[in-house]
Amino acid sequence: MDNALSTSHRPISPNQHAWLDYSVASTFIGVGLWLRHRNRPAAALALLNGGMVLGMSMLTDYPGGVVRALSFRAHRAGDMVQAALAALGPLAFGFAGEPEAKFFYGQALSEVGVIRSTDWDAA
């Protein structure tokens, strides 16, 4: 069976993935700061996600990585954990029924799409 996203046809390169990671970290941190007086649990979760993405990005051996202690392929596992944190965080932090939870669900879905579309063997 022909896979539409076989390894050789994955559209997101390591360079593009790095750009996306820093954008996602900025978004999470910005949302966390914006929510800090409106919904403290959602703000805490956003800052936690943002810090996780930023930290992993700075440690990954791709363009934009600072320390380069984490291989790009190992970075994928961290992305999976971060997507799970975004998806399950509203429940764990006690705001699953509130409007802010939709932001995290959307971020988790987009993260899964990025994970699936990234060429992990290109680095």
pLDDT digits (tens, 9 = 90+) for 54-68: 999 999 999 999 999
Is residue 12 helix, strand or coil? strand
Assigned domain for 73 exists: yes
pLDDT score, position 1:
44
Q: Is residue 1 part of a domain?
A: no
Q: Report the pLDDT value the prediction gives residue 5, as an integer from 0 to 100.
A: 53
DSSP 70: B
How many structural domains are present in the chain?
Answer: 1
**Is the residue at 82 inside a domain?**
yes
Q: What is the DSSP letter of 13?
A: -
- Tell me, yes or no, whether 30 lies in a domain: yes
- Please give the helix or strand (H or E) that residue 87 lies within, else none: helix 72-92
Structural domain that includes position 37: 11-117
In a domain, residue 3? The reply is: no
Q: Answer whether residue 4 is part of any domain.
A: no
In a domain, 6, yes or no: no
> Which pair of structure tokens corresponds to residue 1?
């069976």
Q: Is residue 50 part of a domain?
A: yes
Residue 45: which pLDDT band, with cuts at 50, 70 and 90? very high
